[in-house]
Amino acid sequence: MKSSLVGQVVILAALALLPAAGEAIYFRDKISWRSAIAPSEMVTVDQARGWGDTAIWVDARPEDEFANDHVPGAISLNEDRWNELLPQFLAVWAPGKKIIVYCSSLSCNASREVAHRLRKEAQLADVFVLEGGWEAWMKKNR
């Protein structure tokens, strides 16, 4: 009647799988398995390009990197000169536009921080972070 230790461990491990799987389904929109940003906030290069003219590209990298090269038509908006650059960005924004913020790569944090400020301070909707950043854009556009 008494199961072995291994048997008990296996039963408990299996029991825990059910609610865990349920939670994973419930939270699927709040967490991305690929990277540490909510999937509803992330967008791939292909998805973003599919939006065509309804998208505004925002470059969150430092000035010198933007000047070197950037997504055609992108607006520079970084936290170093936020107060100066924000009005320039707002001048080209219009309701209904989707905003795609990018920085250098998947590991860089600047795009998330700029996206967060656009949502929180300017209270803009449809703000997304480009998955893979400038690196991913370059791979698709070489």
Partner 1 sequence: MIMCLGARAELKWEQTTIELHPAANDKQAVGHFKYQNAGKTPVHFKSVHASCGCTTAQSQKEEVPPGDKGEITATFNIGDRTGTQIKTVTVETDEATNQKTVLTLKTEIPQQLEITPNFVFWKQGEKADTKTINVKVGKDFTVKHIKVTSSTPDFQAKVEEAGNGQFKIDVKPQDTNKVVASMLTIQPEDSQKVFYATARITNAPQVQ
Partner 2 sequence: MKQTSNIEHRTSNIELPSDVGSLGVWRFLWRILDFAVAGIFIYAGALKALDPVQFASDIDNYKILPWPVSVALAFYLPWLEIFCALGLVFRFLCRGALSILTASILVFTLATIAAKIRGLDITCGCFGHASQNWSFPSHLATNLAILAALLALLFKVTSRNRLQNLV
Interface residue list for partner 2 (CB under 8 A)? 2-3, 5, 7-13, 15-17, 19-21, 23-24, 27, 30-31, 33-36, 38
Structure tokens at 85: 């650059």
**Of the candidate residues 32, 124, 126, 135, the single one contacting partner 1 (CB under 8 A):** 124
Cβ-based nearer residue to partner 1, 23 or 63 = 63
51 touches, from partner 1, partner 2, none (C-beta below 5 to 8 Å by class) = none
Helix (H, G, I), strand (E, B) or coil at 54: helix
55, 72 in Cβ contact below 8 A? Answer: no
Does 80 interact with partner 1 (rule: CB under 8 A)? yes
Residues in the chain: 142
Chain Cα centroid distance, residue 94: 21
Burial label for 7, CB within 10 Å (0-12, 13-18, 19+), is exposed
**Of the candidate residues 32, 35, 70, 90, the single one contacting partner 1 (CB under 8 A):** 90
123 touches, from partner 2, partner 1, none (C-beta below 5 to 8 Å by class) = partner 1
42, 48 in Cβ contact below 8 A? Answer: no
Residue 11 sits at φ, ψ, to 5 deg, of -65, -45
Binding-site ranges for partner 1 (CB under 8 A): 61-62, 65, 78-84, 86-87, 90-91, 93-96, 108-110, 120-124
